Every structure is written in structure tokens, then in C-alpha cells.
Chain A
């Protein structure tokens, strides 16, 4: 499969790769996907006064999955929580020139954004009680 230059760039130079402490104040964590499906994304946002001031990701998956989540972190920074919820997978597809077989990578990135936002909102509501999208049973 020939990747677009943008995918290759994100793969070689991932933006905002890393983790926040999940219980840190203002941090929302979304973990989506499953190892048996070949992709798992962890996306985290750090919110201050309703604005996402920082974002981080870690991804197990193909180059397109890595690029989709790396791009998502770039786009999240500086957005308000509401604006972040408007990011659509189709925009990621367009920006990265993803071929049809890789569209699910962008869907997963959108899911990860939503999961992180939900986690943040839930935590904000319950004031600091930690709950993860994927928790050990």
C-alpha cells in the first residue's frame, strides 16, 4: 500500500505522542478499538476553562491509524470542548488522503475524540472521580 506523504510524516514524526496521568485534573481519556482487531487508540485531552490546552495520543495500529490519531491531537489543541466534538472522520480522511480501506482508522480517531470528551465531561461532573473507557475487569 502506498501511503500519502502526510501519513508518512505523522508516522515518522508523531505529534503529541505520550500520556497524561489519567487522574490529573482536567484530563479526559478515551481508549477505543481492540487488540484482536489490530488497532487500539488512546487519546487524551487536557482542558482548562473549557479549552483543550494540550492533547496526547498512543496508538497500536497501522500507519494510517497512527497518523489519524496524531493529526487529531493537533486539531484538538486550542479548541473548546464543544468545537472538539464537531471534528468529523471525513475531515481526517481528506487531510491524510486515506484510501477507502483505511477509512475505519479515521472513524476510530473520531470515536477516540468522543470517548476522551465524554470521559472529561463525566469527570468534571463527578469532580475528579476517575473512570476509564477501558477498565481492567
Chain B
């Protein structure tokens, strides 16, 4: 087993070597511009793009013409929200989303609010799921878009997207789904889910960074988008710019591999994740699972360790790549807004660690991680005045803390 161990697969994933192999010829021999229509260099590149587009469309049960390539999921989310709002502004000015979306959606929504758009941020339950009835009740005659993620990037909770899709269709409101964490990991079918737009990206599924896609429905209804980037009219005019052919080809290969290997891979990652969960939670007291027990991404595990602070814990296991909901690890110096939205107290949000098991995680790495986590938590608890007070029987909630 090699150190350090990568256990942060929600953040990004390594490129699968088979993806890199597929990409390489497109840097040197097949370097053409896929928009060049009058020579073989262009045709060759276009063929690579077409094939990738087909693989991607197949994975989500869409038509190849419905795939718009972007620089990544952040751009896809921005294009979906801003493009729909701009295009349908005559029809209404209200957008519905949730309080636990990725920042790409929340911040795009906030930017729209500054321009006078009304945004409803729906709450989620303790497990992180939005109630479809809340979505239904939030819809007004001014609502033009619902944007709800498939699976949350911190806690892995999977939303009831198909139910919300039915409501959106019934009410005639467009439905965008940020499926960045779900595509390639769990089955995704845009018809069955009833989504009209869907964002996802290559680097979360063992493809290259810098390439993503937005699914844009062409039939029933035909979704129109105001572009954010103008130019040569690529991607049906919705996203101009020469396609990064090697990245597109890599994205296609990554998707092809996911489609082939998902049944086996999801079972394997879930078994490793379950072992990680049982190994840690079985050995330590006062550890809490964040998110949904079952409606959760197969590789996701998010746990709060009472009485220890997340960043200190990461420091104690620094040969394992993980992430924390602690304020100290965020740019904003606020603890995770996702965990806060679940009703997790700030103290436990500061104590949270996210584990992301992936394609290349081994059983040895999982065992090593369990062992190191237990030791680090015990080391820090021994050092923790809160643990000491709790052991003395003091209820920490009744203590008058000097909040600073």
C-alpha cells in the first residue's frame, strides 16, 4: 500500500489510465478542430467528438443532440440557471432551489437575485432530502425554473428527483438537475427522472478536468437557452468556443467505462464504504452519520466526531486525503452550510469529516484509514476539554460559552 491515500473522491478523481490512452492521439496526430468541415483533420476530430457525445447521451438516455459541452459542471449550472432565466423572463421571474445545492447553483441564484429574480431556497429534512410537496407548494404562476441536485456533494444524499420531475411537468415548469455527483455512480435516466436540463462533469468520474456537459431537452418541451458565451455558434449556439477535443474524447471514454462497470463498481465501493462506516462507528462513541442512511451515493461517508475539531483531525491523519466541514478548512470561515441546513449543530459541523471511496480505493486503504481515524480521534479527545466535561457529566448545551 502506497502513501498518501486518496480518500476524497467527491472532490475529484484521478484519470483512469484507459481514459488517458484514448485522449493521447487527439493531442498530436488527431489535433484538428472539430468545427473544420473541409479537411480530414477536422473530420477526424469531429468523429471523436461525435462518438463521445453518443456515449454521454446513452449513459443518461438522451439524444446526442441534447448534449452541450462546457468547461465543467459550474459552467453548466450557470448556463442552465442564467440561460433559462434570460430566455424565459417574459414568462416569469421565480426560481426554486434548495438550501443545500452546490455553490455553483446557490451563487448563480444569488447573482440572479441581484438582478431582481425571486429565488426560493427550500429547506431539507434531517437526512438532507427536500420534500416534493414543498416544491409543489412553492410553485407560483411566475415560476420558470426548478433547480435541485441529484446527490449532495458533502453528504451524498440522493433527492427524490423523479417525483419532483413529475410535479414540474404537471405544472409546466422547467426542471434543472445538478447531477455532478450522481452521473456515472448511480443509474441516471433523464426520461425517467423527468428533467429538462442536467449538469455533470468528467473529472468526478475518472475523466479529465476542464470538460463538462449540460443536457438540454429538445422535445416535450424544447428548452431554449440564452447563451453566456457568444462566438462561432458551436454547441447549437448555446456555448460557443472551439471544443477541447482531447478532453471531450476523454469524457466520452470515462462515461463508456462507467456505463460498463457501474453495476460491479457501485457494489464494490458501497461494500468498502460500509466497512469504513462500521469500522469507525463501531469503535468510537459519539460519532454521528450525516446524511441519509440508505438514499446515499455508494462511495459517500460523512461523519461528525463529537468533541474533536475537523481540521485538527485532518492534521492527525495527514497521510490520508479527506475533507472536513469545519470552518477552519473553508474559505469563508463558516462551518458547512449543508450540515447546518440539516439541523446539525455548529459544534458537530466543525467536527465533520467527509470520506469519498472511489474506483481505485483498496480494502487495505480502508483498513488503514479506520485504524488511523480511531487513533487520531482518541488522541484529540484526550486533549479535548469538551470531552473531559462531557465525561464529568456536564451537559455542554447548558454551559454559558463566551461566543467569539
Residues of A within 8 A of B (CB): 1, 3, 8, 11, 14, 17, 19, 31-42, 58-63, 65-66, 101, 104, 108, 134-137
28 CB contacts below 8 A, A to B, read: A14-B383, A17-B382, A32-B402, A33-B401, A33-B404, A34-B401, A35-B346, A35-B350, A35-B401, A36-B345, A36-B350, A36-B403, A37-B327, A38-B328, A38-B335, A38-B350, A40-B386, A42-B388, A60-B383, A60-B384, A60-B387, A61-B312, A62-B311, A62-B328, A66-B383, A134-B399, A136-B395, A137-B399
What is the bound-complex CA distance between A5 and B396, given in angstroms?
A: 33
Most chain B CB within a 10 A radius of its CB, from A3, A58, A59, A60: A60
B400 on interface, CB distance cutoff 8 Å: yes
What is the bound-complex CA distance between A40 and B345, given in angstroms?
A: 16
B308 on interface, CB distance cutoff 8 Å: yes
What is the bound-complex CA distance between A61 and B310, given in angstroms?
A: 8
B3 on interface, CB distance cutoff 8 Å: no
The verdict on A37 contacting B404 (CB below 8 Å), with A59-B383, A59-B384, A60-B384 known, is yes
The 9 closest A-B pairs by CB, nearest first: A34-B401, A36-B346, A35-B347, A42-B385, A58-B385, A38-B350, A62-B311, A63-B315, A62-B328
What is the bound-complex CA distance between A35 and B402, given in angstroms?
A: 10
What is the bound-complex CA distance between A1 and B330, given in angstroms?
A: 10
Interfacial chain A residues near B333, Cβ < 8 Å:
101
B394 on interface, CB distance cutoff 8 Å: yes
Interfacial chain A residues near B386, Cβ < 8 Å:
35, 40, 60
Most chain A CB within a 10 A radius of its CB, from B327, B398, B401: B401
A38 and B388 contact, CB distance less than 8 A: no
B154 on interface, CB distance cutoff 8 Å: no
The verdict on A60 contacting B402 (CB below 8 Å), with A14-B383, A35-B396 known, is no
- A130 to chain B minimum Cβ distance, whole angstroms, is 14
B365 on interface, CB distance cutoff 8 Å: no
Most chain B CB within a 10 A radius of its CB, from A38, A59, A137: A38
B309 on interface, CB distance cutoff 8 Å: yes
Partner of A58, one of B383, B400, B403, B404: B383
- Chain B residues 95-126 with CB under 8 Å of chain A are none
Most chain A CB within a 10 A radius of its CB, from B346, B394, B399, B403: B399
A58 and B384 contact, CB distance less than 8 A: yes
What is the bound-complex CA distance between A74 and B326, given in angstroms?
A: 28
What is the bound-complex CA distance between A23 and B18, given in angstroms?
A: 67
Interfacial chain B residues near A32, Cβ < 8 Å:
402, 404
B308 and A60 contact, CB distance less than 8 A: yes
